[in-house]
Amino acid sequence: MKKTELNKDFDAIQIEEGDDIFFVAEILNKAIYEDETGNLYCADFYLNRVAVFNQTDKKWQPGPKNIIRELDNYRKLDDEEAMRVFKNNPPFDCFKEMENQHADKLSKHYLKLRKETKHEVIGWTDNVRGRKQANDSDDLYFAALLNDISKNQYDFSGDEMYLIPVFEDGTYLDFSSRGWGGVLAASRYQFQDMAYSAYTFMYKGKKYPEKGFYKKEKVIIEVSNETMELLKKYIEEFFSLDDEVLSKWYGANYIHDITNLNIQNIEAVEEIEFDCGDKKAIYEVSEIRTLNSVQELDELIDFLNEKDEYTFPELVIGDIDTLRKNLQNGTRRIVVIKNL
């Protein structure tokens, strides 16, 4: 019978033509080992699990977690020997049992954390510049995300998800397409190893988060006639479509210190309204930052002023001198309005 080679992440094994496709899928990333006393171990390197063959009752049982580190000391069965074991004494039910135990453990873990977490999602965005990523090893953030998805009955496809959740402390979590599929599965307490695939590929979501914050905050800033005239001049000249003027104003940025403003939820600030009596101008906030030093402010300004062959130098306006003085006394929270 003709044989074909199947390449795997960790090994290549000879598969007989006509072998059942589900059987082939089950042995992917698996290998059989034998110790000096004849005991058999089946390792799944992808899932980092090991099943041990009980010689007495001829059944596979879950192996201890640390046993996978000892397998290099044992003899690895060649393809022919391994295939004989897979077909005569398949370990697949044992791995399924371990998977279900793991899923049940995670389900109980997150059921507990979803009740305990103090974090909350305050909205979704497609722009996280200036924000810090939440500690992805802190399950309380993940639990808060699951709560938000369940509360709002979101139903999305992992490979179509592009918005990012923002938490009350300004941090965020982001995932790959498979990761988002796993997030939706986890929100439904589906923690099996391949649960993500049901919500990633070819899945049609029915309800996606909308960009924006649940409780929007708008900051109103009283500005001088001088600043308002500067903004007005910018608007008039920018839309003049004159190349020379565009090169002067392109990408203008406004930086404003909001540390002392009475804002209930700084992280949910989406707009800045400039108020000068009967003159008003409203702009969308592009990012919120925490600055800890004058050096960080200068680095931000340098970044905004970067010029390459594709862009004009960007203009930074705002009361930068006062912000510099305030930074000498401690941390400041600022908003940046990019491309006014």
Structural domain spans, the chain: 3-90, 98-213, 217-338
Let me know: does 234 contact 252? Beta carbons within 8 Å. Answer: yes
- A 10 A CB-CB count for 78 gives 11
CATH architecture of 217-338: Roll (2.30)
Contact in structure between 176 and 195 (CB atoms under 8 Å) = no
Average predicted confidence (pLDDT) for the chain: 80
What pLDDT shows up at residue 289? 83
Rounded-to-integer distance, Cα 10 and Cα 247, Å: 55
Contact (Cβ atoms closer than 8 angstroms) between residue 13 and residue 27: yes
Report the Cα 249 to chain-centroid distance in Å: 35
Is the per-residue pLDDT at 313 higher than 50?
no
Per residue, what are the HEC states of the chain? Answer: CCEEEEECCCCEEEEECCCCHHHHHHHCCEEEEECCCCCEEEEECCCCEEEEEECCCCEEEECCHHHHHHHHHCEECCHHHHHHHHHHCCCHHHHHHHHHHHHHHHHHHHHHHHHHCCCCEEEEECCCCCCCECCCCCHHHHHHHHHHHHHCCCECCHHHCCCEEEECCCCECCCCHHHHHHHHHHHCCCCCCCHHHHHCCCCCCCECCCCEECCCEEEEEECCHHHHHHHHHHHHHHCCCCHHHHHHHCCCEEEEECCCCCCCCHHHEEEEEEEECCEEEEEECCEEEEECCHHHHHHHHHHHCCCCCCCCCCCEECCHHHHHHHHCCCCEEEEEEECC
* Most confidently predicted of 134-143, 241-250, 268-277: 134-143
Nearest Cα to Cα of residue 222 among 267, 289, 271, 272: 272
Contact at 8 Å (CB) between 221 and 254? Answer: no
pLDDT band at 267 (very low <50, low <70, confident <90, very high): confident
- What is the band of 232 on the pLDDT scale with cuts at 50, 70, 90? low
Residue 218 in this model has a pLDDT that exceeds 80: no
246 pLDDT band, cuts 50/70/90, is very low
Indicate whether 2 pLDDT > 60.
Answer: no
Q: In terms of pLDDT, which residue wins out, 142 or 219?
A: 142
For residue 259, pLDDT over 50 is answered with yes
- The more confident residue out of 93 and 1 is 93
139-168 pLDDT, tens digit each: 999 999 999 999 999 999 999 999 999 999
Q: How far apart are CA 235 and CA 296, in angstroms?
A: 29
pLDDT at 7 over 60: no
